[in-house]
Structure 1
Amino acid sequence: MHRMKAGLFKWYRGWTMVAMGIVMVMLSVGSVVYGYSIYLTPVSKELGLARETANVGIVFQHIGSALLAPVIGRILDFVKVRTVVAFCGLALGAGLIGLGFGDALWAKAVLLVLPLSLGLAGAGAVASYVLVARWFKVHRGRAMTIVAFGQSAASVIVAPLIAMLIEEFGWREALLIQGIFVGAAMLLIAAGLVDRPAEGEHEPLGKAVPVPEADLHDKGEIGHPLTLRQIASSPVFWMLAAIVSATLAVVQASIASLVPLATGRGISLVQATTLLSMLGISGIFGKTVLAIVADRFQRITLITVAIAIIMCFTLSLTVDAGFAGLAASSLMAGMAIGGFFPMYSALLADVFGAHSLGTTEGLVAPAISLSSAGAIYLAGVTYDVSGDYRLTFLIFSAILLGALVLSATVRLFGNLHEVRPKPV
Structure 2
Amino acid sequence: MTSTHSRIPQASSATKKRRRIHPSWWVALVAFLALFGAAGFRGAPGALMVPLHEEFSWSMGEISLAVSVNLVLYGLVAPFAAALMDRFGIRTVVSVALSLVALGAGASVFMTASWQLLIFWGLLIGGGTGAMALVLAATIADRWFTSRRGLVMGVLTAGQATGQLLILPLVAAIAEDLGWRPASLIIGAVALAVIPLSVWVLRDRPSDKGVLPYGADPKTYVEPPPVTGSAMKRAIDGLRFAAKHRAFWALAIAFAVCGMTTNGLIGVHFIPSAHDHGMPAATAAGLLAAVGVFDILGTVASGWLTDRFNPRVLLAIYYSFRGVSLLLLPVLLSDVVHVNMVAFIVIYGLDWVATVPPTAALCRAIFKERSTIVFGWVFAAHQIGAAIAAFGAGVVRDVFGEYTYAWWAGAATCALAAVLSIMTKQPRILVQDGAVPAREK
- Deviation of residue 66 (structure 1)? 4.3
- Over 3 Å counting, the alpha-carbon distance change for 1:119 and 1:314 in structure 2 is same
Which one of 334, 351, 355 corresponds to residue 340 of structure 1? Answer: 355
- Deviation of residue 20 (structure 1)? 0.8
For structure 2, the residue ranges without an aligned partner over 5 or more in a row are: 1-9, 434-441
Tell me which residue corresponds to 1:18: 28
Tell me which residue corresponds to 1:328: 343
Matched, 1:247 2:262: no
- Over 3 Å counting, the alpha-carbon distance change for 1:53 and 1:393 in structure 2 is closer
Instruction: Please tell me whether the aligned partners of residues 71 and 386 of structure 2 are also in contact (alpha carbons under 8 angstroms).
Output: no
Instruction: Please tell me whether the aligned partners of residues 149 and 284 of structure 1 are also in contact (alpha carbons under 8 angstroms).
Output: yes
Return the alpha-carbon distance in structure 2 between the equivalents of residues 107 and 315 of structure 1. 36
Q: Provide the aligned length of Structure 1 versus Structure 2.
A: 402
Comparing 224-233 with 89-98, greater Cα deviation is found at 224-233
Comparing 132-141 with 398-407, greater Cα deviation is found at 398-407
What are the Cα deviations for residues 47-75 of structure 1, in whole angstroms up to 9, with x where unaligned? 55455444433133224334433432332
Amino acid at match of 1:21: A
Alignment of 1:53-64 (within 5 A): 53-64=62-73
Return the alpha-carbon distance in structure 1 between the equivalents of residues 318 and 349 of structure 2. 10
Alignment of 1:114-129 (within 5 A): 114-129=123-138
Instruction: Please tell me whether the aligned partners of residues 68 and 390 of structure 2 are also in contact (alpha carbons under 8 angstroms).
Output: no
Return the alpha-carbon distance in structure 1 between the equivalents of residues 197 and 419 of structure 2. 45
What is the percentage of aligned positions where both structures have the same residue? 22
- Over 3 Å counting, the alpha-carbon distance change for 1:339 and 1:174 in structure 2 is closer
Matched, 1:190 2:167: no
Alignment of 1:398-413 (within 5 A): 398-413=412-427
Instruction: Please tell me whether the aligned partners of residues 318 and 390 of structure 1 are also in contact (alpha carbons under 8 angstroms).
Output: yes
Tell me which residue corresponds to 2:316: 304
Matched, 1:290 2:307: no
- Over 3 Å counting, the alpha-carbon distance change for 1:126 and 1:171 in structure 2 is same
Tell me which residue corresponds to 1:201: 212
Partner-residue secondary structure (3-state), 1:11? coil
Instruction: Please tell me whether the aligned partners of residues 53 and 59 of structure 2 are also in contact (alpha carbons under 8 angstroms).
Output: yes
Alignment of 1:2-401 (within 5 A): 9=16, 10-30=20-40, 32-44=41-53, 46-47=55-56, 49-101=58-110, 103-151=112-160, 153-154=162-163, 158-159=167-168, 162=171, 171-172=180-181, 175-176=184-185, 178-179=187-188, 182-198=191-207, 201-204=212-215, 219=224, 221-223=226-228, 227-228=237-238, 229-252=240-263, 255=266, 269=279, 273=284, 276=288, 279-317=291-329, 324-353=339-368, 356-375=370-389, 395-401=409-415
Amino acid at match of 2:46: S
Return the alpha-carbon distance in structure 2 between the equivalents of residues 388 and 165 of structure 1. 26
What are the Cα deviations for residues 17-74 of structure 1, in whole angstroms up to 9, with x where unaligned? 11011111111010x2233334445555555545544443313322433443343233
Partner-residue secondary structure (3-state), 2:21? coil
- Over 3 Å counting, the alpha-carbon distance change for 1:309 and 1:178 in structure 2 is closer
Return the alpha-carbon distance in structure 1 between the equivalents of residues 242 and 156 of structure 2. 25
Return the alpha-carbon distance in structure 1 between the equivalents of residues 150 and 168 of structure 2. 27
- Deviation of residue 241 (structure 1)? 0.9
Instruction: Please tell me whether the aligned partners of residues 259 and 384 of structure 2 are also in contact (alpha carbons under 8 angstroms).
Output: no
Given the two structures, how large is their TM-score scaled by the length of structure 2?
0.74
Return the alpha-carbon distance in structure 1 between the equivalents of residues 400 and 182 of structure 2. 45
- Deviation of residue 244 (structure 1)? 1.3
Comparing 218-227 with 406-415, greater Cα deviation is found at 218-227
Return the alpha-carbon distance in structure 2 between the equivalents of residues 378 and 172 of structure 1. 27
- Over 3 Å counting, the alpha-carbon distance change for 1:310 and 1:173 in structure 2 is closer
Instruction: Please tell me whether the aligned partners of residues 97 and 175 of structure 1 are also in contact (alpha carbons under 8 angstroms).
Output: yes
Return the alpha-carbon distance in structure 1 between the equivalents of residues 174 and 274 of structure 2. 32
Comparing 320-329 with 370-379, greater Cα deviation is found at 320-329
